[in-house]
Chains A and B, each alone.
Chain A
């Protein structure tokens, strides 16, 4: 492992240097003696699993948290960062995973917010407009300064965040999981912008859990595990497999091992499904699809294009109209039999997209969560009372079979890591031996080690002849798990593809609603399409 700090060619001071940063929350040591050097004009990746301490470290750098120990040097000078104002003054700009924009302000208003020159807005606005034009030309950061935030797409919103930082004269730009909400084409565009910024001498820190992004764009990369910085390496001298191993602490399989599918009879048939949300907006606009026994149908799409609603209607969480048949029998979509309990009785198991909000009760103990949704099971009753002993015993078996750690059925769900929480949900749903498994974002917020395990379990269930409907915003996951891929955009299925006969580029275009995938399309075209769909929702 070569340490970048040793080979300093020009002797320049690092743009940013952390020395011995430690931070504890209660008994949890989020950051342990972290030291890192980032040279100016480079892109530095920070990679690590959820809870490895990446966000804590960046929050310390941006003045949200105060470190218990350690020092920060900016351009060679020791700098105190008590709050975000100080961070901005030191030339640090942050682009958060969840944008901090005022939805009903224009782009221009958002950019000057908090950086106005005086009581009158006029001069600030015209100054900002001039600067914006310049920045846009320089870095491909083209935005419409007068558009309302709520009317523009996520990709453009992200550019507004970057412009905000540049307007405040940031030399160091920190991006936290920037591609989570972007289509592949938009992500490529973002990377071009970052390259441009780098050429101009800006320093960029990219926080991500995607190995591929690290390999594609960074110069150096630091790996974090359990609050510690386990390694800092030159990207050109490492490989995804090595990084994964550094992140998890053991060898991991990055590809899903699976045999070709042997699809059987139709298990799920959806015809012309429509879902209207409580604001009266149609979120699913006539979706039809089929999932056969023994196959995984992956639904790809940018978040917010109706895939969540599709899953929820199938799981009995939401009502809809249209026809849904399971094993040839129609199921109730609006009446008294449209609840999740009846769906489970019909052999539909559901791993929801948001396990912390829906799939688990975070304050309930593991064993209480194992009964969740199946609390009517006669095996869990004894007379008038619930048979807690039986539920505990069942839970202990599931914990063992699904390797949930720590193996303690009495711990509340919130004290398990994301991956172990997901294993609990998966154990509960899969071991009910369902005919159809609905599974949303199976590995969101799940550590790499557990991803491997979860993917294997899903494939095993398929090989047992069950039908699986997979919804994920991670295109990699869709590509590697699915036997067939349906792409959803704006509540409609844009097309179905076989993973062997398509690629990310084609899927990316379909995800942006462009069905003509025979020639290249500009980012502007893709964004205009996405913004149109986005605007309808508002």
Chain B
């Protein structure tokens, strides 16, 4: 068993990656004449120090859970869906149409309908690149990224020419009716008597996000479809040998992936903005890639990574607000985290692996298999 223990793979390596990213970020902060310790304190305090901070952190994390799961599901079929941005934008359109077109009697029914709308629009938007990949062999990375641009232009057109209320100069839809407004996390936690700061964007979509994590876990590791997705992802010739249709699996996987990305719109469009504005996704689709990479494509890992990125987003905003550290530096910190956890993963992995092997060789071999 020439491998390192699973805990090292799942916990230790991401942790080292993260520390390295923070270390270099600290050096950059030092270089522009600020105190990195002070900056870190401010970030932690701003993002996690109060329920108000948590409200924002959890709101961002909810977005990232959806986009992270979207990328993770596609990864299992060896598909790199970097179109989360566009799929989430289309999901927003689905939510807006559902909320504006039908006079919903209660938010619960509206939520169910909006979930279907968001998922469906996201799935259909992903279905086109999926078809091109499955049938024509057009690379999914190229097509999904192009579809991000098409989605942006499409939303621009729809918002300006079709959904903009008459007389408004703002390229956005009208405010959704009162009956579609989702309860905030504050309302939800009140039921259990837990006090939580008001006026934060966190809402009950967080619950849906957590349910989505559980659902994805079961899909990937417990269902026949998940089995086929993983088989295709590991080896296409083997999948064909086993009678699994690559065309069908690519289509269905990408549509599930697109639907998950689309679901993000329940959080930001229905739960927070309560109307559809231009560029509502704000890069969350791309953060999802980092979240999936860092979370090793496992729903639980995605959840943890999404919380981390939620913290970075909220803490970074605080940093820009209270210090002379420019907002751009926050982007640098986020980029470093992405760089170390995603692209430079091997830089840490190889030495750590060697270290474990060296340690193991000194001790007598335990006679059990890998703990997988």
Q: Which of B123-131, B218-226, B294-302, B326-334 has 4 or more CB atoms under 8 Å from chain A? A: B218-226
**16 A-B pairs in the complex with CB atoms less than 8 angstroms apart:** A27-B361, A315-B241, A317-B237, A340-B241, A350-B241, A352-B241, A357-B238, A358-B240, A361-B235, A362-B234, A368-B227, A372-B231, A375-B228, A385-B218, A406-B369, A415-B369
Known pairs A408-B369, A415-B1; A372 contacts B238 (CB<8 A): yes
A364 touches B2 (CB 8 A): no
Query: Are the CB atoms of B231 and A385 closer together than 8 Å?
Result: no
Q: Does the CB pair B241–A411 fall under 8 Å?
A: no
Interchain nearest-CB distance for A333 vs B (Å): 15
CB contact under 8 A between A359 and B234, given known A388-B222, A410-B372: no
Q: What are the residues of chain B within 8 A of A25 when measuring CB–CB?
A: 2
- A372-384 interface mask toward B, CB cutoff 8 Å, 1 = contact, 0 = none? 1101100001001
Q: Contact check, A340 vs B238: say whether CB atoms are below 8 A apart.
A: no
Q: Which residue of B lies closest to A354 (CB)?
A: B237
Give every chain B residue within 8 A of A386 (Cβ-Cβ): 222-224, 227
With a CB–CB cut-off of 8 A, which chain B residues contact A411? 369-370
B243 within 8 A of A: yes
Contact A340 B218 (CB under 8 A): no
**Chain B nearest Cβ from A394, distance in angstroms:** 15
Cβ of A405 under 8 Å from chain B: no
Nearest Cβ distance between residue A268 and chain B, in whole angstroms? 19
Q: Given the known A-B contacts A27-B365, A361-B234, A415-B369, are A316 and B2 also in contact in the complex, defined by CB atoms under 8 Å?
A: no
Q: How far is the CA of A534 from the CA of B74 in the complex (A)?
A: 40
Cα-based distance from A142 to B107 in the complex (angstroms): 85
Residues in B whose Cβ lies below 8 Å from that of A315: 241
**Closest residue of A by beta carbon distance from B365:** A27
Q: Which of A339, A352, A360, A412 is in CB contact (< 8 Å) with B243?
A: A339
Q: Which residue of B lies closest to A372 (CB)?
A: B242
Instruction: Give A contacts to B, CB under 8 Å.
Output: 24-28, 315-317, 339-344, 350, 352, 354, 357-365, 368, 371-373, 375-376, 381, 384-386, 388, 406, 408, 410-412, 415
| Chain A nearest Cβ from B248, distance in angstroms | 10
A26 and chain B: residue at smallest CB distance: B2
CB distance from A7 to the nearest CB of B (A): 39
Contacts of B235 in A (CB 8 A): 357-358, 361-362
A186 to B243, CA, bound (A): 39
Any chain A CB within 8 A of the CB of B357? yes
- Nearest to A384 among chain B residues (CB) is B223
Determine the distance from Cα of A487 to Cα of B2 in the docked complex, in whole angstroms: 43
When distances are taken between beta carbons in the complex, the residues of chain B under 8 Å from A316 are 243
B245 within 8 A of A: yes
In the complex, the answer to whether A376 meets B369 with C-beta atoms within 8 Å is no
Q: Is there contact, CB below 8 Å, between B240 and A317?
A: yes
Q: In the complex, what's the smallest C-beta–C-beta distance from B214 to chain A, in angstroms?
A: 13
Q: Indicate whether B360 reaches chain A with its CB closer than 8 angstroms.
A: yes
**Cα-based distance from A10 to B231 in the complex (angstroms):** 61
- The total of Cβ contacts below 8 Å across the A-B interface reads 89
CB-CB contacts below 8 Å: B194-244 with A: 218, 222-224, 227-228, 230-231, 234-235, 237-238, 240-244
A334 CB to nearest B CB, Å: 15
Take A27-B360, A385-B218 as given contacts and tell me if A317 and B227 are in contact as well, using a CB distance cutoff of 8 Å: no
Q: A339-B245, A372-B242 are in contact. Are A363 and B234 (CB under 8 A)?
A: yes
A26 pairs with B222, CB closer than 8 A: no
List chain B residues, Cβ under 8 A from A344: 243
| B contacts with A: majority SS | helix
Contact of B372 among A26, A350, A358, A365 (CB under 8 A): A365
Partner of B238, one of A358, A388, A408: A358
Least distance between B349 CB and chain A CB atoms (Å): 14
The complex places the Cα of A388 from the Cα of B227 at a distance, in Å, of 11
A364 touching B234 by the CB < 8 A rule?
A: yes
Binding site for A on B (CB under 8 A): 1-2, 218, 222-224, 227-228, 230-231, 234-235, 237-238, 240-245, 357, 360-361, 365, 369-370, 372
With A375-B227, A375-B228 known as contacts, the answer to whether A317 contacts B365 (CB < 8 A) is no
What is the CB-to-nearest-CB distance from A29 to chain B, in angstroms, rounded to a whole number?
10
Residues of chain A contacted by B227 (CB below 8 angstroms): 368, 371, 375, 386
Q: State A388–B222 Cα separation when bound (angstroms).
A: 8
Q: List the B side residues contacting A415 at CB < 8 Å.
A: 1, 369-370
User: Nearest Cβ distance between residue A32 and chain B, in whole angstroms?
Assistant: 14
Q: How far is the CB of B368 from chain A (nearest CB, A)?
A: 9
CA distance A344 to B241 in the complex (A): 10
Which residue of chain A has the shortest Cβ distance to B358 in the bound complex? A26
Docked Cα-Cα span, A264 to B295, in Å, equals 58
Q: Are A343 and B243 in contact (CB under 8 A)?
A: yes
Chain A positions within 8 Å of B242 at CB level: 340-341, 372-373, 375
Whether A373 touches B357, Cβ cut-off 8 Å, given contacts A25-B2, A358-B238, A406-B369, is: no
CA distance A406 to B21 in the complex (A): 42
Interchain residue pairs A-B with the least CB separation, the first 4: A341-B243, A26-B2, A340-B243, A373-B242
Q: Are A410 and B243 in contact (CB under 8 A)?
A: no
A315 closest partner in B (C-beta): B241
Partner of B241, one of A26, A373, A412: A373
User: Which single residue of chain A is at the shortest CB-CB distance from B237?
Assistant: A358
Most chain-A Cβ atoms within 10 A of its Cβ — which of B242, B361, B372?
B242
Q: How far is the CA of A386 from the CA of B231 in the complex (A)?
A: 14
Q: Report Cα–Cα, A371/B228, bound state, in Å.
A: 11
Point out the residue from B2, B218, B237 that lies within 8 Å of A27, measured CB to CB.
Answer: B2
Residue of A nearest to B227 (CB): A375
- Picked from B2, B243, B365, the residue with its CB within 8 Å of the CB of A373 is B243
The CA-CA distance from A27 to B369 in the complex, in Å, is 13
Per the bound structure, the CA–CA distance linking A365 and B221 in Å amounts to 12
With both beta carbons as reference points, the residue of chain B lying nearest to A360 in the complex is identified as: B238
Q: Which residues of A contact B245 (CB under 8 A)?
A: 339
**A308 smallest CB distance to B (angstroms):** 12
Residue from the list B223, B357, B360, B372 in contact with A385, Cβ < 8 A:
B223
The answer for the CA separation of A352 and B235 in the assembled complex, in Å, is 14
Compute how far the CA of A350 lies from the CA of B242 in the bound complex, rounded to whole angstroms. 10
| A343→B240 CA distance, assembly (Å) | 12
Q: Which residue in chain B gives the minimum CB-CB distance to A27?
A: B2
Contacts beyond the supplied A317-B241, A362-B234: 12 A-B pairs with Cβ under 8 Å: A25-B2, A28-B2, A317-B240, A340-B241, A354-B237, A361-B238, A372-B238, A386-B222, A386-B223, A386-B227, A408-B369, A411-B369
Residue of B nearest to A343 (CB): B243
Q: Which of B228, B241, B365 contacts A358 (CB 8 A)?
A: B241
Complex Cα spacing A411 to B3, Å = 13
* A352–B223 alpha-carbon span in the complex (Å): 26
Chain B residues positioned under 8 Å from A368 (CB to CB): 227
B241 pairs with A385, CB closer than 8 A = no
**In the bound complex, do residue A357 and residue B2 qualify as a contact, i.e. CB atoms below 8 Å apart?**
no
Pair B224/A376 contact, Cβ less than 8 Å: yes
B345 to chain A, nearest CB (A): 18
**In the assembled complex, which residues on chain B have CB atoms less than 8 Å from the CB atom of A412?**
370, 372
Q: How far is the CB of B4 from chain A (nearest CB, A)?
A: 10
Pair A385/B222 contact, Cβ less than 8 Å = yes
Closest-CB distance, B110 to chain A (whole angstroms): 27
Report Cα–Cα, A315/B242, bound state, in Å: 10
A318's nearest neighbour on chain B, judged by CB, is: B240
List, in ascending order, chain A residues with CB within 8 A of B228's CB. 375
Residue of chain A at shortest CB distance from B232: A361
> B1, B222, B234, B238 — which one has the most chain A CB atoms within 10 A of its CB?
B238
Closest-CB distance, B251 to chain A (whole angstroms)? 15
Using Cβ atoms and an 8 Å threshold, which residues of chain B touch A357?
235, 237-238
Residues of chain A lying within 8 A (CB to CB) of residue B222:
385-386, 388
Q: How far is the CB of A314 from chain B (nearest CB, A)?
A: 12
Smallest beta-carbon distance A332→chain B, Å: 13
B369 to chain A, nearest CB (A): 5
Q: Which residue of A lies closest to B234 (CB)?
A: A361
Contact (A364, B243) CB under 8 Å given A376-B224, A408-B369: no
A411 to B357, CA, bound (A): 19
Would you give the shortest CB distance from B219 to chain A, in whole angstroms? 10
Q: Which of A342, A358, A373, A375 contacts B224 (CB 8 A)?
A: A375
Min CB gap B94→A, angstroms: 26
